[in-house]
Amino acid sequence: MELGRLAAPPRAVPLDDVRLALLDAVIAAKATGRLDQLAWEDAFGGAARSIRMRVLAEAEQMVRAAAAHSRYPSRQLQSLLPNAEAADSLLNRLLAEAMPLERFEGLGDDPVSRRARAAALETAWEGAMRIANGETARWRAIALQVEGWRRGTTSLWVGSVFLLLVTLLLAAWLSGELPSPDWFRPVNDFWWRLWP
């Protein structure tokens, strides 16, 4: 069977194990004599689901590692992680790459149609790799944003200034520099009883 660059890529590529599982599914279908249109589509569908799972698992791992590094708030982190909608969208985009295989629906299992299906499968795989690489790059950018996140310091500064002013006011009341209000007199008396 002629599977071209799908069977023998010029160099090692990411997700090689998924590519090999795809080839294995096609070769196993050929060995059982059931290399029909459904076998080709099922083989690519299984590969697309594996790609989706791997890309999203890697994405979640990258974003969680970045969040741990920057101490990103966990509530906000949950909204950034891949969810079911992102998984479905990615799977649909990956499966759409196999549309060229649909041209061969209804054709037999002769050498010419097998060669054409193999070429379409190779094209679908290359498209799926483009999508997977693009999706990985998108999640890497999100992870970089999370890693660069820093907690806002405005509230810390406002709280520190407020605490400093309250401390200065209490010190002025206790030392007699400022007349203290009537409600503060018991605290003032207690304070000065501590020091004989």
pLDDT digits (tens, 9 = 90+) for 106-155: 887 788 888 899 899 999 999 999 999 999 999 999 999 999 988 777 88
Q: Are 69 and 33 contacting, i.e. CB atoms less than 8 angstroms apart?
A: no
At 150 the pLDDT is 83
> CA 131 to CA 17: how far, in whole Å?
17
Q: 176: alpha, beta or left, given left = phi > 0 and alpha = psi -120 to 50?
A: left
- Per residue in 68-91, pLDDT (tens digit) is 999 999 889 999 999 999 999 999
Distance in angstroms (rounded) separating the CA atoms of residues 163 and 165: 5
Distance of alpha carbon 187 from alpha carbon 173, whole angstroms: 10
Residue 129 confidence (pLDDT): 94
Dump pLDDT digits (tens) for 90-111: 999 999 999 988 888 888 778 8
The whole-angstrom distance between residue 127's C-alpha and the CA centroid of its chain comes to: 20
Where does 3-102 have alpha helices with state H? 4-7, 16-31, 37-70, 74-80, 84-96
* Global pTM value: 0.74
Give me the torsion for CA of 188, 189, 190, 193, rounded to 10°: 120
Residue 51: pLDDT over 60: yes
Cα dihedral 20, 21, 26, 28, rounded to 10, equals 110
